[in-house]
Amino acid sequence: MDPASGKHGIGSDTGQLRIKTSRTGLGRKAGHDLTIEVTRWSGDVTVDVADPGRSSVVASIEVDSLEVREGVGGLKPLTDDDRADIKRTIREKILHTAEHPRITFTSTEIAGTPHAFTVTGDLTIMGTTHPITLEAGLDAEGGVHGAATVVQSTWGIKPYKAFAGALRLADEARIEFDLAPLTETAALG
């Protein structure tokens, strides 16, 4: 099922947006590979079936809505206190939420077919904008699934480290998203 032409609202009520991190360094066995969910985000997708190059995506996430959902690996299971500490560290030391409350994305080009396409655009994190390309596609029901890799240091983000740098988050983080089908009834007009 292909999406309907028109403008569609997307966000945390129509899909999921996740950030996946991994560990590196000599002390990586002590840490966790994290799955972090963005619980408040929104955007608009404009679909032009007749001319896909005229389609576009604009999205914004609220950085203080990041919630640690899963921690894999590590010497001990991730606790609720660990989750709270990680969230505080992300907000205060890594992404400086008070000064930079939102991360935004604005597409500049969409290419490919409905079932395998790329969305290239400008990603702004902490006031710094760089291009990024998302790889995506439609499933049989019309849902949209995709992912991209963000190299944190490109945006001036210093990946978390502990134990004198023996445990570090990898510089690359994976962004994944799953959207409900963009249908005629979801079109905004």
The mean of the pLDDT values for the chain is 87
pLDDT at 187 over 50: no
pLDDT score at 26: 62
**CA 64 to CA 88: how far, in whole Å?**
9
Buried b (16+ CB within 10 A) or exposed e, 55-79: bbbebbbbbbbbebeebeebeeebe
For residues 6 and 46, the answer to whether their CB atoms sit within 8 Å is: yes
Fold (topology level) of 6-186: Lipocalin (2.40.128)
* pLDDT the model gives residue 43: 95
* Lowest-pLDDT range of 35-39, 122-126, 131-135, 136-140: 136-140
User: How much is the pLDDT for 37?
Assistant: 97
- Is 20 a residue whose pLDDT tops 90? yes
Q: Which amino acid is at 34?
A: L
pLDDT in the model for residue 28: 62
What is the C-alpha to C-alpha distance for residues 121 and 141, in angstroms, rounded to an integer?
26
Domain locations along the chain: 6-186
pLDDT tens digits, one per residue of 71-94: 888 778 888 998 999 899 899 989
Q: And the tokens for 58?
A: 């604009």
pLDDT for position 186: 43
Is the pLDDT at 162 greater than 70, yes or no?
A: no
Lowest mean pLDDT among 8-22, 121-135, 156-170: 156-170
The CA distance from 93 to 141, in Å, is 41
pTM (two decimals): 0.88
Convert the pLDDT of each residue in 40-82 to its tens digit. 999 999 988 778 788 999 999 999 999 999 988 877 888 899 8
Average pLDDT over residues 29-38: 84
Measured between alpha carbons, how far is 152 from 9 in angstroms, rounded to an integer?
Answer: 28
pLDDT at 142: 84
Give Dmax over CA atoms of the chain in angstroms. Answer: 56
Rounded alpha-carbon distances, angstroms, from residue 34 to 5, 67, 128, 135, 182: 36, 10, 24, 21, 29
Q: What percent of the chain has pLDDT over 90?
A: 58
How many other β-carbons are positioned within 10 Å of the β-carbon of residue 96? 15
What average pLDDT does the segment 151-160 reach? Answer: 89
